[in-house]
Amino acid sequence: MKPALLLLLAAAVPLAVTAQGPTNYKAELNASNEVPPANSPTTGMFNMQCTMDTCTWTLDVMDVDQMTMAHIHQGGPDANGPVIVWLVPEEKTAPEAKALPMLDQPVSGTQQFKGEFKSEAIGGPAAGRTISDLESAFADGSLQAYVNVHTTANPAGVIRGQLMMM
């Protein structure tokens, strides 16, 4: 009876690992989080849910003036880092650094953007990594990232917030 129980448990462990639900992330975006801090009333909230191969996200931006783009950057709270995922405008594959996409017309006021990305959209120093690779790096602390929103008046970024696993 004991060998059968051990066999059953051994078979169940991989199922428990693959049955793990999606991972949730969020970032609260403020002008004071920019490096250096920006002077703007703009605020925002970013929510993301990732499975093994897809991340779906929502970005809410309030009181923005002439927003041009938004992305996930690699880096901690005290430094600026390279783009690893393009959010707005949404790109299905990582764009080349020399041809950075922007919104055709900048937007103002309160805006909500929704999208999803797969591993093909991961670029910069994280290019070639999968969603699962990024999640593992977030979990073990070897990767920090932040969400950054850019405007015509603040092309380096008007608001940002560290991406935190929930």
Q: State which amino acid sits at residue 140.
A: D
Q: How far is the C-alpha of 78 from the C-alpha of 146, rounded, in Å?
A: 11
pLDDT at 5 (0 to 100): 38
pLDDT at 36 (0 to 100): 96
- Average the pLDDT over 16-26 and give the result: 74
Domain map (residue ranges) of the chain: 22-165
Q: What is the pLDDT of residues 28-67, one digit of tens each?
A: 999 999 999 999 999 999 999 999 899 999 999 999 999 9
pLDDT at 99 (0 to 100): 59
SS3 (DSSP) at 133:
helix
CB 73 within 8 A of CB 81: yes
pLDDT at 89 (0 to 100): 87
More confident residue, 156 or 90: 156
Q: How far is the C-alpha of 160 from the C-alpha of 143, rounded, in Å?
A: 17
pTM of the model: 0.84
Closest CA to 29 of 151, 149, 153: 149
The verdict on whether omega for the bond into residue 36 sits within 30 degrees of 0, i.e. cis, is yes
- Average the pLDDT over 104-127 and give the result: 94
CATH topology of domain 22-165: Immunoglobulin-like (2.60.40)
pLDDT at 98 (0 to 100): 52
Q: What is the pLDDT of residues 56-111, one digit of tens each?
A: 999 999 999 999 999 999 999 999 999 999 999 876 666 665 556 788 899 999 99
